Amino acid sequence: MKALMFGWEFPPHILGGLGTASYGLTRGMSLQPDMDITFVLPKPWGDEDQSFLHIIGACNVPIVWRDVDWNYVNDRIGSKMHPDEYYQLRNGIKYDFHRIWTNDLGCIDFSGRYPDNLLEEISNYEAVASVIAHSRDFDVIHAHDWLTYPAGRFAKQISGKPLVIHVHATDYDRSRGQVNPDVYRIEKEGMDSADHIITVSNLTRNTVIEKYHQHPDKVTTIHNAVEPLEFINELHKSERKDKVVTFLGRITMQKGPEYFVEVASRVLQHTDGVRFVMAGSGDMMDKMIRLVAQRGMADKFHFTGFLKGRGVYEMLAESDVYMMPSVSEPFGISPLEAMQCGTPSIISKQSGCAEILDHAIKTDYWDIAAMADYIHAIVKYPAMYEALRKNGLEEVNAITWEIAGQKVRKIYDMVCGR
């Protein structure tokens, strides 16, 4: 089974949860012996782990025919792609894309991020998909998140191979209901033309069925999982007088940071020996800093700014409680990561991961009193902390990508009619 996957992020250079999920899923699927995955990325950095899949950088795929010699190609992109592959892909150019600006190799420069001209980048990605679809052989197309749906659709049109789209989030989650019509159009078209839709939670599945009018039979939930942490033994929790409650993630509307601040204010009114940390950055950060000042608790409430790589896990391991009051979270991998570090998690019922976790505390994102109460309980009653920690570790270690990968494989087999 050869799968052609379109993605947008891949570790180690990631901006959100999409990259982590793509990595985990492909890694889990690669454990199946007959699985061959080609993963297309807008802009790989060259340090991605390619031991279990093959990565094609869209920025190295020619879409306009240029007559360049082997050595020149090798000089330019040899570290990221073999020149022979470049020539093979060049044979797939069947359309005229001269309207798009290309470089000396006939390739597009992708930012690989989420720039202001995102829609343009998405359509450029579509052009690259056509070249790949014409030049390579595969059985199934798998597109991760709305940015890659157009590419997946185009590849399906060209090759006639079945398309599976993987909904990691919808615009309803990102915008609290105020959807962007352009994004909605792209999402809807992608879902309409897909042979099967995979969602990361039942919450997202319901959105896809209700808001995007998809037939329930076409939509399957496959929950995300977590990779075991390699450096878990190097993480430690230092002795500290005060307990630490952490919010970690983008400080945006979707994540409900203002609820975290309100909860902190409620807890601090009645409890000593607790500190609150808001790690991450985002468009609501300044507002949150002001809110903390207004509540008069800046001495107990701290901002760390954006954390990267191991810093994230170190922060989680140092915390006594991890909190994710997301207003709408398609899945939300970070509570699972917190639990891996042995930190009890409080998550909102509006998070997809709540569907698979028993030993995390679940409340409504607006229920400030309940969240404050749980924080107090975990901080003040040691048995609560210990039980959540122990049972949480046990639970999260049983959630593996290998099982998720097998479920994806079943869907491949189904759409391929095997």
266 binds other proteins (CB under 8 A): yes
Q: Which of 82, 240, 380, 410 binds other proteins (CB under 8 A)?
A: 380
Contact window for other proteins (CB under 8 A) among 79-87, 248-256, 267-275, 410-418 = 267-275
Considering only the stretches 96-104, 182-190, 306-314, 380-388, report the one whose residues sit in contact with other proteins under the rule CB under 8 A. 380-388
Q: Answer yes or no whether residue 322 interacts with other proteins by CB under 8 A.
A: no
Residues 383 to 402 in contact with other proteins, rule: CB under 8 A:
383-384, 386-388, 390-391
CB of 366 to other proteins, least distance (A): 15
Letters for 346-365 (x = contact with other proteins by CB under 8 A, - = none) are: ------------x--xx---
| CB of residue 327 to other proteins, shortest distance in Å | 20
Question: Residue 189 or residue 395: which is nearer to other proteins going by CB?
Answer: 395
Residues sharing a CB contact under 8 Å with residue 334, sequence separation 6 or more, in sequence order: 17, 248, 249, 316, 322, 324
Name the segment binding other proteins (CB under 8 A); options: 65-73, 244-252, 265-273, 290-298: 265-273
Choose which of 31, 232, 369, 398 interacts with other proteins (CB under 8 A).
369
Q: How far is the CB of 386 from other proteins (least distance, A)?
A: 6
Q: Which residue in 30, 32, 206, 271 binds other proteins (CB under 8 A)? A: 271
Smaller CB separation from other proteins, 251 or 353? 353
Least CB distance to other proteins at residue 383 (A): 3
Q: Which is nearer to other proteins, 289 or 387 (CB)?
A: 387
Cβ atoms of 354 and 329 within 8 Å: the answer is no
Residue 184 CB, shortest distance to other proteins, in Å, is 34
Angle, vertex CA 254, rays to CA 253 and CA 256, nearest 5: 70
Binding range to other proteins, per CB under 8 A, among 111-119, 269-277, 302-310, 326-334: 269-277
Q: Does the protein bind other proteins through residue 264 (CB under 8 A)?
A: no
**Segment interacting with other proteins, rule: CB under 8 A, options 62-70, 168-176, 224-232, 371-379:** 371-379
Residues at the site binding other proteins, with contacts judged by CB under 8 A: 266, 269-271, 358, 361-362, 369, 372-374, 376-377, 380-384, 386-388, 390-391
